[in-house]
Structure 1
Amino acid sequence: MLSRFGAAAAESDSWSQAPEIEQRPAGPPADREEAADTPGLPKMGSFEVMNRTIDIAQSALARHTLAGYPADLLIEVPRSTCRSLEFHRAVEVIAVGRALATQALEAFEIDDDESAAATIEG
């Protein structure tokens, strides 16, 4: 682990064997038992952390904007469809977008027809 920060392997070994440093899991004993049973979190690089941060900010801004100016039709493409810099998957992503748009427009037209019928009846 310390080799990432420029420490030699010999230095890191001597640190882990030092008597004054006790290495144990943090938190109360119950948390330690749960931590042993739960799988580890995925390791994220700095780019992934930055990208996730931007996604969260964009999502919050979109929710705020939609609250002020509600859309007649909202098509949400799942974030799992593609990641940043996956331009090579453009054809696949466009196909997913078209399929979602078709479904959303059909549902919108059905809802619009039902509301028009209700208006005529009323």
Structure 2
Amino acid sequence: MPEMDVALKETMQIDGAVGAALVDHTSGMALGTVGGGKDLDLTVAAAGNTDVVRAKLRAMEMLNLTEKVEDILITLDTQYHLIRPLGARSGRGLFLYLVLNKDRANLAMARHQLRAIERTIDI
């Protein structure tokens, strides 16, 4: 899937990017990963964040909210974890997952760039 590979490489160009993945939230499997390392296992993170996405979607359903989730932000001491469900019809059930170094990242710009990258993905 060349579009996915290109999108993940572009994601790593975002200031402060440490790792990124495209994840299927129905299975918890990472379809593609880039970056990470010994301190960040992106396949484990993908599976764990699948639970976060499922929980949020379940809560929205129980609250009868019909809005879409733009992104989910998890703030740690030294990192931002951004989860962006894909909105295009071809991306249903998928989300982009991006880990940023908090000291080097501009969160507003990262959200803007991730939104632009999302639009280029056609799976």
TM-score, normalised by the number of residues in structure 1: 0.32
Q: In proportion to residue count, which structure has more helix? A: 1
TM-score, normalised by the number of residues in structure 2: 0.32
Q: In proportion to residue count, which structure has more strand? A: 2
Structure number with larger C-alpha Rg: 1
Structure with larger RCO (C-alpha < 8 A, sep 6+) = 2
